[in-house]
Chains A and B, each alone.
Chain A
Amino acid sequence: MKKITDERLVLQNLKNIRIAFTIQTLGILGILGYDLVTKGLEGMRENPLWLVFIITTIISAYLSMSISTDHEMNKVNPQKRFSISLIVLILISTIVGFFVSFTDGFNITDGVTIGGILFICGLIPTFYIYNLRKKRQNQDMEE
């Protein structure tokens, strides 16, 4: 099969894929919604489609981060923003961890574990966006 080089057709192809993706997502949401009603939250999460849906959402969120950084109107200092995000993240994980350790049925190890997981989960996107901003800042300097 010959590779499509016509830019108009490439663009049209992307638009078609977008339509297919929308329909697919609606289908997945429909199936998951049906599972939620008939089998409850646990039943819905047992469905492998749930994993597909979550992974797609995460990937789409990461991809849109690069668009958001380019869309930012005012120039931001990546280091400063990174420090602010880090402080907020540490605060949130500490507070959540603190409350978990004092909840009935949980001990201090659970609190530290949950706080730690929350911190790592938040650190990855924070670091990713820091890198994107830094890359953009370097590009701006080259200009």
Chain B
Amino acid sequence: MKIARVEVDLTQQQLAEKIGVTRQTISLIEKGKYNPTLKLCLDICYAVNKTLDEVFWIEKENEYK
């Protein structure tokens, strides 16, 4: 998500203001310490002009590693 945000040239603060949350929330999502709701995920995607897939997709970890 951080990459997507930097690509559209937004700071955490600017992105936070754009979607109506606090900067701390953006920071926690980027660190993976907060699990946002789907609604917030969509808002973030609209703000950075990307799809959910591009911003949030993580490959399922291989259990037999």
Contact = CB atoms under 8 A, between A and B. Distances in A.
Interface string B10-36: 000000000011101100100000101
Contacts of B39: 7
B20 A8 contact: no
Contact of A5 (B21, B24, B28, B36): B21
Contacts of B20: 5-6
A38 B63 CA distance: 61
Consensus secondary structure, chain B interface: loop
Interface in A1-43: 5-9
Contacts of B28: 8
Nearest to B21: A6
B31 to A, nearest CB: 13
B37 interface: yes
Of all A-B residue pairs in the complex, the 5 with the closest CB atoms, nearest first, are A6-B21, A8-B25, A5-B20, A6-B22, A6-B25
Interface of A: 5-9
